[in-house]
């Protein structure tokens, strides 16, 4: 059976977790394919909130198998702690499996993430400081340790010895930091963590293919988002993996022909955490209103998110980059009571109108948004569950988005709870 990808179309925190959870009702496997615990995916069910970082957002159903794919970078202490916290709240995590090929986030990755950010000073990226970039860098440099190394203490120690010599030299000589103790790391990873993680390790590629062959439904859950993609995002203000739908193939081990549905998640406005260009960013009273009404503070870092109007130039590009087949819009309720709404329909730079995201980053940094203004609505949408009950202005807002990006909006969420959404499916 075909696979479905859920992908963020903006700069993250679009509500991927809540839609993955909603769609997981009909899924057998839910697979995270990239990123790590830089993600924060919040799901609310009947008023009870769950914030997931590494565990796939299908975990709340007893019938799904949550899979952490080979493309993810895993801090195994975070994984164990997250599973324990879920178990303590009555969520069964015993079906969770993790790929042996997934790379490990090690203590020196955190040190290097922090030290690099510090040394960048005012040019810092504003990373989540979770060691994500350094872990992916080691993967590319072929000096990373993998989940499967936890199963072989001799190999683990050998690899750690070699890599730690280099890391400690860099920490001490470049960043003037203290060296890390290899024995302590080995004790933690092999002594405490390996026995807890070992039962979760599986051949996830075979598991996913067997499920597809048996006619089961597989969902691939993206973390981060299109414009944080290492290749397609606003480099260098990006994360170090490929959240775009192509990354779902690499990060899970399936081919592109298996994917038939790509659900692009878009917030009804836009937010961004951390540094980087953001053409439709707003400030002042409207920004405060979006942040406060939308509770735009990071799910796990608590940072205030930067808000802006919905950018249709970017969304159109995201539809292309990911082969988005439908859009699920979130947080439509947050726009209630704004007297007028703006949609960024094009950019202006150097006296020219641009309908596409400029390939030259310097241009993107200086573009000015060209807005179309639409009527707002005053009604509270949080109890709306049918299209007919959406105010006309809200329907027009959605229709304009569809017209601009060329794919249908199939869902509009009007509150954080699993049931707070409108479906446009026929
Ligand atoms: P993700 O990283 O893409 O999964 O998104 P996050 O969970 O980090 O951020 C989305 C936030 O918006 C979470 O706090 C959700 O509970 C909340 N949320 C999701 N959909 C809606 C919605 O339609 N309306 C409102 N008001 N909140 C929503
Ligand atoms: P979810 O899955 C929003 C941002 C960071 C920073 C940049 C690089 O919840 O949407 P990193 O720690 O990955 O090296 O940081 O990427 N970032 C996110 N922003 N949502 C996320 O995840 C993010 N994960 C990373 O703020 O700008
Ligand atoms: Mg998030």
- Three-state secondary structure along the chain? CCEEEEEECCCCCCCHHHHHHHHHHHCCEEEECCCCCCCCEEEEECCEEEEECCCCCCCCCCCCEEEECCCCEECHHHHHHHHHHHHHCCCCCCCCEEECCCEECCHHHHHHHHHHHHHHHHHCCCCCCCCHHHHHHHHHHCCCCEHHHHHCHHHHHHHHHHHHHHHHHHHHHHCCCCCCCHHHHHHHHHHHHHHHHHHHEECHHHHHHHHHHCCCCEEEECCCCHHHCCCCCCCCCCCCCCCCHHHHHHHHCCCHHHEEEEEEEEECCEEECCCCCCCCECCHHHHHHHHHHCCCECCCCCCECEEECEEHHHHHHHHHHHCCCEEEEECHHHHCCCCEEEEEEEEEECCEEECCCCCCHHHHHHCEEEEEEEECCCCCCCCCCCHHHCCHHHHHHHHHHHHHHCCCEEEEECCCECCCEEECCC
- Nearest-ligand number for the alpha carbon of 42: 1
Ligand 1, CB cutoff 6 Å, lining residues = 8, 12-18, 39-42, 44, 294-295, 299, 330-331, 333-334, 413-416
Per the CB < 8 A criterion, the answer to whether 268 and 329 are in contact is yes
Closest-lying ligand 2 atom to the alpha carbon of residue 273? 26
> 20 CA distance to ligand 1 centroid (A)?
12
- Using CA atoms, how far residue 85 sits from 55, 103, 184, 257, in Å, is 11, 23, 25, 37
Instruction: Give the CA-trace dihedral at 320, 22, 98, 273, to 10 degrees.
Output: 60
**CA atoms of 224 and 236, how far apart (whole Å):** 15
283 is catalytic: no
Tell me the CA–centroid distance for residue 237 and ligand 3, in Å. Answer: 17
Query: Any catalytic annotation for residue 350?
Result: no
Q: Is the dihedral of CA 292, 294, 295, 296 positive or negative?
A: negative
Residue 332 to residues 9, 46, 124, 375, 376, Cα–Cα distance (Å): 16, 19, 32, 14, 11
pLDDT in tens, the chain (426 residues): 689 999 999 999 999 999 999 999 999 999 999 999 999 999 999 999 999 999 999 999 999 999 999 999 999 999 999 999 999 999 999 999 999 999 999 999 999 999 999 999 999 999 999 999 999 999 999 999 999 999 999 999 999 999 999 999 999 999 999 999 999 999 999 999 999 999 999 999 999 999 999 999 999 999 999 999 999 999 999 999 999 999 999 999 999 999 999 999 999 999 999 899 999 999 999 999 999 999 999 877 788 999 999 999 999 999 999 999 999 999 999 999 898 999 999 999 999 999 999 999 999 999 999 999 999 999 999 999 999 999 999 999 999 999 999 999 999 999 999 999 999 986
Distance CA 308, CA 14 (A): 13
Ligand 2 site, residue 103, Cβ cutoff 6 A: no
Instruction: Tell me if the pTM is above 0.95.
Output: yes
Is-contact 318 401, C-beta < 8 A?
Answer: no
Using a 6 Å cutoff on CB, does residue 65 contact ligand 2? no
Q: Which of 13, 113, 149, 229 is catalytic?
A: 13
* CA 56 to centroid of ligand 3, rounded, Å: 13
> Could you tell me the distance, in angstroms and rounded to a whole number, from the CA of residue 135 to the centre of ligand 2?
15
pLDDT at 1: 65
**Cβ-contact 304, 296 below 8 angstroms:** yes
The bound ligand whose nearest atom lies closest to the alpha carbon of 17 is: 1
Q: How far is the CA of 304 from the centre of ligand 2 (A)?
A: 13
C-alpha 421/C-alpha 365 separation (Å) is 35
Candidates 37, 41, 109, 232; catalytic one: 41
Instruction: Give the pLDDT confidence score for residue 339 in this predicted structure.
Output: 87
The pLDDT assigned to 400 comes to: 98
Buried b (16+ CB within 10 A) or exposed e, 98-122: bbbbbbbbbbbbbbbbbbbbeeeee
d(CA 351, CA 367) in angstroms, rounded, equals 10
pLDDT number for residue 150: 98
pLDDT at 148: 98
Is the distance from the beta carbon of residue 13 to the nearest atom of ligand 2 less than 6 Å?
Answer: yes
């Amino acid at each position: 059976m075909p696979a479905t990808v859920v992908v963020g179309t903006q700069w993250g925190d679009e509500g991927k977790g809540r839609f993955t959870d909603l769609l997981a009702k009909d899924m057998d496997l839910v697979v995270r394919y990239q990123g790590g615990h830089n993600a924060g995916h919040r799901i609310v069910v009947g008023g009870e909130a769950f914030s997931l970082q590494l565990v796939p957002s299908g975990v709340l159903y007893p019938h799904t198998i949550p899979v952490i794919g080979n493309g993810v970078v895993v801090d195994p202490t975070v994984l164990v702690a997250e599973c324990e916290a879920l178990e303590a709240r009555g969520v069964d995590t015993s079906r969770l499996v993790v790929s042996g090929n997934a790379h490990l986030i090690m203590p020196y990755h955190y040190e290097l993430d922090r030290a690099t950010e510090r040394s960048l000073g005012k040019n810092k990226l504003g990373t989540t400081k979770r060691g994500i970039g350094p872990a992916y860098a080691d993967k590319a440099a072929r000096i990373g340790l993998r989940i499967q190394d936890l199963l072989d203490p001799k190999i683990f120690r050998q690899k750690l010895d070699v890599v730690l010599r280099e890391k400690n030299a860099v920490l001490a000589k470049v960043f003037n930091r203290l060296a890390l103790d290899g024995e302590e790391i080995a004790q933690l990873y092999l002594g405490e963590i390996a026995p807890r993680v070992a039962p979760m390790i599986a051949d996830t590629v075979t598991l996913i293919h067997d499920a597809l062959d048996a006619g089961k439904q597989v969902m691939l859950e993206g973390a981060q988002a299109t414009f944080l993609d290492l290749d397609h995002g606003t480099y260098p203000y990006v994360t170090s993996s490929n959240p775009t739908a192509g990354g779902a193939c690499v990060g899970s081990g399936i081919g592109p022909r298996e994917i038939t549905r790509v659900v692009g998640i878009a917030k009804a406005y836009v937010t961004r955490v951390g540094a980087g260009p953001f053409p439709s960013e707003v400030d002042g009273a409207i920004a405060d209103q979006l942040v406060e009404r939308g509770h735009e503070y990071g799910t796990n870092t608590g940072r205030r998110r930067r808000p802006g109007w919905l950018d249709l130039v970017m969304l159109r590009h995201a539809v292309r980059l990911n082969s988005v087949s439908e859009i699920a819009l979130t947080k439509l309720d947050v726009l209630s009571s704004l007297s007028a709404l703006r949609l960024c329909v094009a950019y202006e730079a150097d006296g020219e109108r641009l309908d596409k995201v400029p390939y030259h980053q310097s241009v993107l940094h200086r573009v000015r948004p060209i807005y179309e203004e639409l009527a707002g609505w005053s009604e509270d949408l949080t109890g709306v569950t049918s299209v007919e009950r959406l105010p006309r202005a809200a329907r027009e807002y959605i229709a304009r988005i569809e017209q601009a990006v060329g794919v249908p909006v199939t869902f509009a969420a009007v509150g954080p709870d699993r049931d707070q959404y409108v479906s446009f499916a026929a």
